[in-house]
Amino acid sequence: MTIVLNCKGFKFPRVDREKFVSLIHLGLDYDRNTGLFSIKSYNNIEKVIDTASDILGDEVVFLQNCIRCGKDFPCRGCNYIELCATKNLPFSCVCPQCLIDRKNFETYLTKF
């Protein structure tokens, strides 16, 4: 089974102090009010994924964030997954809905 996490906020079961400190050093942030972790730094994202997988006991992947519409979406089902270098990592991409709307997407690209 694969667990899909949103980089803007996700929960772990209670972890010991050493594991918690390790998560913070890897680049996560913790909000005590909500009990949610979020990604503050992407420098050690591979280690974050490995550690999260160990904690949750399953493979962990992250949602992508669409650079056009802002929607969060999973990589599964994407036509370009075989070519993608950042699949299942919490980075920005273009969602399948925006890719379908080719004319609007091309207009969006010309802004940059």
Q: Specify the higher pLDDT residue, 112 or 94.
A: 94
* Predicted local distance difference test score (pLDDT) of residue 18: 94
Q: What is the pLDDT of residues 70-105, one digit of tens each?
A: 999 888 878 888 888 888 788 888 888 888 776 666
**Average pLDDT over all residues of the chain:** 87
The tokens describing 62, both together, are 């992250």
DSSP-derived 3-state class of residue 21: helix
Reported pTM: 0.78
CA distance 56 to 53: 5
- Per-residue CA distances from 9 to 20, 35, 39, 40, 78 (Å): 16, 9, 8, 11, 23
Q: Residue ranges of the domains in the chain?
A: 2-62, 64-110
Cα R_g (the chain), whole angstroms? 16
* Predicted local distance difference test score (pLDDT) of residue 57: 95
Confidence band for 67, pLDDT divided at 50, 70 and 90: confident
